[in-house]
């Protein structure tokens, strides 16, 4: 399965298992969403379980909260993560706080899914990576898969989670892995073992990172599309890097990170989002706080630039192997 099919399968499994699960969003019903993640599900489960929503992200999030308060498990799609901001207040002030402000009397078991990230020539408004805004919010979990197997298992875990989960889907790798070598032909997921996705129910735990490549020289912390960039760059440059796929940024798997950095003594943080106050700043600070006496070199961030996402110069902006390679070499120098 590719990632879209895997996510579709996660919905299918959960809609089939649990009457409380409903899925909705702009174009998510009849047509199955612009990326077709919910394709075929309305036909199978009926239009009160899977349906189209008005173009009102604040309304989508606000009504999803109401549904969760009722006892449903809504999975709401925001068509592109760039458009989540009209719903920001409902996520930040409401979803993230209701359990706390009611001393546990109410909770909001809901998932907000949204395709994010660049590499598709989406211009400024279809390419952004807003995960840091949500990582900063108390009471919200933020999950970002990097392959079809994880995508399905994490989405099922997110739907079953008792707390609100933001589930950002790296849309550049919906159909196949992408390593940042943009001029090479794209291979479909079919040839990747992580595309072997079981039909039924399984979960990948939220809050657990994966060591996707073992190495001794340097630790690369990445998530989403960037995991593939890290793997490819390490291979091409012949660097003995340990690559960690965070999978969840809140709650973060600090144990895996600490263990790896203490072993390698060097760390590069890699993400697509803009640099200033990005999630990489948090990772860099944590590594510095916890592994300082094991570090052989300063922690380095490889990120997008602090500009909106450009259309025509997308490959200049994208933190691909051309930016990661030199950074890895620099960290390894002394």
* Shorter beta-carbon distance to another protein: residue 234 or 286: 286
Q: Exactly one of 126, 228, 271, 294 is catalytic; which is it?
A: 126
Is residue 42 close enough to count as binding another protein by CB under 8 A? no
Nearest approach in angstroms of CB 35 to another protein is 23
DSSP one-letter string for 65-112: HHHHHHT-EEEEEPSSGGG-GGGHHIIIIIITTHHHHTTTS-----EE
Instruction: With CA atoms as reference, report the closest residue to 77 among 64, 66, 90.
Output: 64
**Token pair for residue 292?**
């300082």
Neighbours of 110 (CB within 10 A): 26
User: What is the x/- site pattern for another protein, positions 50-69, by CB under 8 A?
Assistant: ---xx-x-xx-xxxxxxxxx
Q: Is the Cβ–Cβ distance between 40 and 8 less than 8 Å?
A: yes
Site residues (CB under 8 A) for another protein, limited to 179-238? 207
Nearest approach in angstroms of CB 115 to another protein is 22
* Shorter beta-carbon distance to another protein: residue 61 or 244: 61
**Active site (annotated) includes residue 126:** yes
Sign of CA dihedral 20, 26, 28, 34: negative
3-state DSSP call for residue 23? strand
* Shorter beta-carbon distance to another protein: residue 188 or 251: 251
> How far apart are the C-alpha atoms of 138 and 23, rounded to whole Å?
25
Is residue 251 close enough to count as binding another protein by CB under 8 A? yes
Is residue 106 close enough to count as binding another protein by CB under 8 A? yes
* Shorter beta-carbon distance to another protein: residue 102 or 307: 102
Stretch that binds another protein, among 96-104, 152-160, 170-178, 221-229 (CB under 8 A): 96-104
Is residue 289 close enough to count as binding another protein by CB under 8 A? no
Per DSSP, which regions of the chain are E strands?
Answer: 21-25, 50-52, 73-77, 111-116, 141-143, 165-170, 210-213, 218-222, 241-245, 248-250, 267-270, 300-302
Nearest approach in angstroms of CB 103 to another protein is 5
3-state DSSP call for residue 28? coil
Nearest approach in angstroms of CB 2 to another protein is 30
* Shorter beta-carbon distance to another protein: residue 48 or 307: 48
Out of 34, 36, 135, 163, the residue judged to bind another protein by CB under 8 A: 163
What burial class does residue 97 get, using C-beta atoms within 10 Å of its C-beta: 0-12 exposed, 13-18 middle, 19+ buried? Answer: middle
Is residue 44 close enough to count as binding another protein by CB under 8 A? no
Stretch that binds another protein, among 3-11, 156-164, 182-190, 320-328 (CB under 8 A): 156-164
Neighbours of 105 (CB within 10 A): 8
* Shorter beta-carbon distance to another protein: residue 175 or 203: 203
Is residue 105 close enough to count as binding another protein by CB under 8 A? yes
Nearest approach in angstroms of CB 53 to another protein is 8
Instruction: With CA atoms as reference, report the closest residue to 241 among 255, 226, 254.
Output: 226
Instruction: With CA atoms as reference, report the closest residue to 131 among 307, 258, 274, 301.
Output: 274
Neighbours of 59 (CB within 10 A): 14
Is residue 139 close enough to count as binding another protein by CB under 8 A? yes
Q: Which residues contribute to the site for another protein (CB under 8 A)?
A: 19, 22, 48-49, 53-54, 56, 58-59, 61-72, 74, 86, 89-90, 93-94, 98-107, 138-139, 141, 161-163, 207, 251-252, 254
Instruction: Give the residue numbers annotated as catalytic, written as ranges.
Output: 126
């Amino acid at each position: 399965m590719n990632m879209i099919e895997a996510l579709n399968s996660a919905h299918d499994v959960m809609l089939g298992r649990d009457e409380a699960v409903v899925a909705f969003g702009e174009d998510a019903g009849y047509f199955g969403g612009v990326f077709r993640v919910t394709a075929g599900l309305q036909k199978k489960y009926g239009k009160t379980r899977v349906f189209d929503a008005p173009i009102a992200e604040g309304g989508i999030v606000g009504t999803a909260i109401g549904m969760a308060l009722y006892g449903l498990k809504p999975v709401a799609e925001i068509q592109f993560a760039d458009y989540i901001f009209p719903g920001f207040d409902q996520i930040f002030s409401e979803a993230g706080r209701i359990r706390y402000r009611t001393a546990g009397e109410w909770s909001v078991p809901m998932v907000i899914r949204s395709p994010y990230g660049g590499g598709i020539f989406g211009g400024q408004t279809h390419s952004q990576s807003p995960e840091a805004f949500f990582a900063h919010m108390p009471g919200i979990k933020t999950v970002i898969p990097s392959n079809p197997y994880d995508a399905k298992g994490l989405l099922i875990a997110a739907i079953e989670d008792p707390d609100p989960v933001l589930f950002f889907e790296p849309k550049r790798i919906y159909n196949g892995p992408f390593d940042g070598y943009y001029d090479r032909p794209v291979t479909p997921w079919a040839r990747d073992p992580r595309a072997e996705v079981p039909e039924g129910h399984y979960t990948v735990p939220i809050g657990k990172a994966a060591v996707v490549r073992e190495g001794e020289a340097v630790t690369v912390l990445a998530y989403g599309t960037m995991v593939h960039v890290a793997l490819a760059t390490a291979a091409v440059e012949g660097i003995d890097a340990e690559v960690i796929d965070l999978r969840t940024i809140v709650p973060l798997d600090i144990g895996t990170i600490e263990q790896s950095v203490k072993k390698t003594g060097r760390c590069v943080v890699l993400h697509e989002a803009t640099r200033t106050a990005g999630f990489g700043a948090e990772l860099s600070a944590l590594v510095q706080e916890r592994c300082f006496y094991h570090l052989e070199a300063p922690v380095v961030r490889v990120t997008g630039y602090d500009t909106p996402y450009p259309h025509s110069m997308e490959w200049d902006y994208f933190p691909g192997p051309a930016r990661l390679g030199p950074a890895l070499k620099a960290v390894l120098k002394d």
